[in-house]
Amino acid sequence: MPASTSTRSSTGDTVSSTRSPSAADEETLRLDHVLEARRTLRGRVLETPLFSSTRTSERVGASVFLKAELFQHTGSFKPRGVLAKLASLSPAERERGVVAASSGNHAQALAYCARELGIDCVAVMWEGVSRLKIDATAGYGATVDLVARDAFEASDRARELAASTGLTLVPAYDDRAVMAGQGTVGLEILESVPDLDAVVVPVSGGGLIAGIAVAVKSLRPRTRIIAVEPASSPSLARALSAGRPVPVSAASIADSLGAPAVGELCLAAVAPLLDDVVHVGEDEIREATVWLYRTAKLACEPAGAATTAALLSRRANVKRADSVVAIVSGGNVDLADAARLLSPG
């Protein structure tokens, strides 16, 4: 029988999905995979700080904590999943090198981690991505390929390079090892906030929320998992409605939340565990970015502020007595963009 799942969208409607058993079930993410990733990553990634945010708590009416993944190596949570994946490669695969398509944060993480492990790396990026992220990726030692014109072409080109050169493709999210590595964020959160009522997680391709949801729900089932995505790029909501990944446009100032579609494995892992999917607008993301700069002194990128936007706008359903953690997922924003965001008017 097909598996049926449902969740509630930010409008209050129930969004259902039905999928049949497939090869994806062989890659089902479990808690033991996340725990194994934690052992693999120990001493290789930072255990990022978790701050209480008094002013945010007062405004939201709940006890709000910020998980500051912008302080991770390369400025985002991405090295967790990348290192977990690279650790799973055979000696022959490491010798041949790795390749990935990315708008920036995954590319930087792969370049950094590959350099640390002595692995050659090609990062496929495209026209219009942040120059800061391109330069940082190259600075970590990757060969940056800029032939593609958009995220869809970049994904195709990365696969073509893997097939033609023998490089190993390292997915940005749709891979069990990658999801397991990202799930270590959830383990750290539960260690810091054992009475956690809700965790608010940004969504792009779905690797971060899949890993966190599996880790948190396995250890504390009553904790609510709230997904946040830009209203202009609702990849998760559309996938849940269709029962499969659906391509969406990546049109948001939160460029790191612009995956072409949610991953198939990510969708399978997270769909049964979600409690809510919240959509935030561009002005709400912008306001939350400024809020975190000014009140929490966190120089995050817009994608990193999306979860705070969901709380400040009251779109995320949290109660007054709740303990809530919002993931601040990254801080890779160049000075010119930051200045525009922070300038009044």
Q: What distance in Å separates the CA atoms of residue 260 and residue 142, rounded to the nearest whole number?
A: 23
Q: What distance in Å separates the CA atoms of residue 127 and residue 205, rounded to the nearest whole number?
A: 20
Instruction: Respond yes or no: is residue 329 known to be catalytic.
Output: yes
* The token pair that represents 272 in the structure block: 């049964």
3-class secondary structure per residue, 155-204: HHHHHHHHHHHCCEECCCCCCHHHHHHHHHHHHHHHHHCCCCCEEEEECC
Indicate which residue of 53, 76, 232, 329 is catalytic. 329
CB of 23 closer than 8 Å to CB of 67 = no
Instruction: Respond yes or no: is residue 319 known to be catalytic.
Output: no
Q: What distance in Å separates the CA atoms of residue 136 and residue 332, rounded to the nearest whole number?
A: 10
Indicate which residue of 9, 17, 76, 78 is catalytic. 78
Q: Longest Cα pair distance anywhere in the chain, in angstroms?
A: 56
DSSP 206: S
Question: Which residues are the active-site residues?
Answer: 78, 329
